[in-house]
Amino acid sequence: MKKIILPLVGVVAVIAFFSIFIVKEVNQAIVLQFGDPKKIITKPGLNFKLPFIQNVVFLDKRILNLDAPPEEVIASDQKRLIVDAFARIQIVDPLKFYISVGNERVARSRLSTIINSRIRSVLGTQRLQTLLSEDRTKQMALIQEGVNNEAEKFGIKIVDVRIKRADLPQANSNAIFARMQTEREREAKEFRAKGAEMAVTITSTADKEVTVILANAEKKSEIMKGEGDGQRNKIFAQAFGQDPQFFAFYRAMQAYEKALIGGETSLILSPDSEFFKFFGNIKSKSAQ
């Protein structure tokens, strides 16, 4: 009896092993019978299939990332741009997905081609400046809409399409850098020229103001000097009027001081010169 039960238990276990399968929360399944889809399972749990006749294909029902290869885009102004985009996709119709593409590898390859084609067709109608501005969001919406129309044929929904990086080709980048450098050098020369012009203007204005200030100061100085001379002459005149002999003596002393300064001055004058009248009777002293 045991010899019969044990093989039967083994056969039942094998049949159960090949009949039972579990669908996880992140998956959805298609039950195939000789390659023909028989059942679609989208809810997680324990399920059954016919052993050895049917097999199960599991598909991911999460939102997946799809990195498209970088693509060169020529804008409407003939500027070249290397666009690196990515998409987020989700399998919403497993049966259509399986029939049209079969697996994720094929789906990713075909969607990458569609995304790059759509990027060229949409961004190729825009100027480079538009692609690098905030208006790029509108262009990405158009790209997503176009890709979604194609992805529906595969049972896939395009959740989002974004550009990770948009760079100029190396040759264009070097040319733009050189042009920017030339432009900055030109602006620097203009600033220096304007600065030099302003410096000349400021210097000229300052020199003019200095000349005016010095002229005014010299004018005031001459006026004050003239007033001082006038006051001095007035005082001398008053003094001369009070005592003419003392005034004559004082002026003679000043003349002696200026003429005989240094002790080495030689004068050849007549003994009776008016210049020596305050030296006393020179003739009488000479005679003695």
Question: In sequence order, what are the beta bridge partners of 30?
Answer: 40, 57
Question: What's the N-to-C CA distance of the chain in angstroms?
Answer: 190
The Cα–Cα gap between 59 and 39 comes to: 13
Helix (H, G, I), strand (E, B) or coil at 129: helix
Distances (CA, A) of 218 to 44, 205, 209, 210, 228: 107, 20, 14, 12, 15
Domain ranges within the chain, ordered by starting residue:
2-60, 64-168, 244-287
Residue 247 has a CB neighbour count (10 Å cut-off) of: 16
Q: What pLDDT sits at residue 273?
A: 65
Q: Where are the alpha helices (DSSP H) in 94-154?
A: 94-100, 104-123, 128-131, 136-151
Q: At what angle do helices 136-151 and 104-123 cross, to 10 degrees?
A: 140
pTM: 0.54
Given a contact cutoff of 8 angstroms between Cβ atoms, the answer to whether 152 and 145 are in contact is no
pLDDT in tens, the chain (288 residues): 666 777 777 777 778 788 889 999 999 999 999 888 889 999 999 998 888 888 999 999 999 999 888 888 877 777 777 888 889 999 999 999 999 998 999 999 999 999 888 888 887 787 777 666 667 778 888 888 999 999 999 999 999 988 887 776 665 556 667 778 888 888 899 999 999 899 999 999 999 999 999 999 998 998 998 888 888 878 777 777 777 777 777 777 777 677 666 666 666 766 666 666 666 554 444 444
Q: Which tokens sit at 148? A: 């979604």
Which residue, among 170, 169, 153, 63, has the nearest Cα to 114 in the 3D structure? 153
pLDDT in tens, 107-133: 999 999 998 888 888 877 877 776 666
The Cα–Cα gap between 187 and 30 comes to: 68
Which residue, among 68, 71, 88, has the nearest Cα to 80 in the 3D structure? 71
Which CATH architecture does the domain made up of 64-168 adopt? 2-Layer Sandwich (3.30)
